[in-house]
Amino acid sequence: MHPEPNVTEMSKVLYLKICISSLRLFLLQILYKYDKVVQMSMDHFDNPTRQAIVLALKKKGNLSVDELSKEVKITPMGVRQHLLVLERNGMVEYITRKQGIGRPGFLYRLTSATDAFFPKTYEQFSLDLLREIERADGRSKIEELLKARKDHILAERLKTFTGKDSLAGRVSALVDMMHEAGGITELEEDETHYKVRQFNCPLSKIASQYKEVCTYDTELFQTLLGVDITLQESIADGARSCSYLIPKE
């Protein structure tokens, strides 16, 4: 073991820089592990239909029984039974929707209790460390750290993507990569573009303070795909999803 630095024998500035360097390395490891988090909490659901209902509400927002029936492909009566269980467990609540003459309708939505089912590991701790690094070494050090994270992921993933001959194959690999990192993702396409939507960014809280996270993630995806892409909206800015527009070749 290395002897602990004697603060009385070195300048406080030098000692602080040693501490910050150690924290920077530790934080880089944490941020890298962030991308490995999977949705293990979702496995705690004892019923796949209730899991599907929770995922539908996460993606679509407030939904009626009839709308949920179409999403999960069971009868409205079946949806109501599952909603009763979820409501009893504190995962779902309903709000009233006015709809002209007659009885009011109801919309169902997730409660804050379901936040635990979507990856948020290390979030506040990582954010606190980033702030300390910025306070000690400036904003440029944050960019340096996030770029190192991007380069680390790129080095690990590039071989997988370069083995894909088509853009469609690389886009599919990107969706798989997001899913492995704990993302709830959805792929859409038309004649000219693919659109990848991620509904739960594990780094959204950090990205709300440090937009460089979104910048470097977009650069990472561009390099892996081999085309320029556009981040149209992000959870960090208050959107329901992080949406990436990818032009077809």
pLDDT for the residue 204: 83
Is residue 4 a part of any domain in this protein?
Answer: no
Judge if 91 and 70 occupy the same domain.
yes
Q: 184, 58 in Cβ contact below 8 A?
A: yes
- Distance, CA of 82 to CA of 79 (rounded, Å): 5
Judge if 203 and 238 occupy the same domain.
yes
List of the chain residues with pLDDT < 50 = 1-2, 5, 7, 10, 15, 32-44
Judge if 110 and 127 occupy the same domain.
no
CATH for 96: 1.10.10.10
pLDDT for the residue 132: 87
Number of domains in the chain: 2
pTM (whole model) above 0.95: no
pLDDT for the residue 39: 40
pLDDT for the residue 103: 67
Question: Between helices 139-162 and 123-137, what is the axis angle to 10°?
Answer: 130
Radius of gyration of the chain (CA): 22
pLDDT, tens digit, for every residue of 70-115?
Answer: 999 999 999 999 999 888 888 899 888 776 666 668 899 988 777 7
Q: What is the dihedral of CA 45, 203, 145, 161, to 10 degrees?
A: 70
| Two tokens, residue 113 | 């209790």
What domain range is 224 assigned to? 12-36+119-247
Within 10 angstroms of residue 159's Cβ, the number of other Cβ atoms is 8
Q: What's the count of helices (H) and strands (E) in the chain, helices before strands?
A: 9, 6
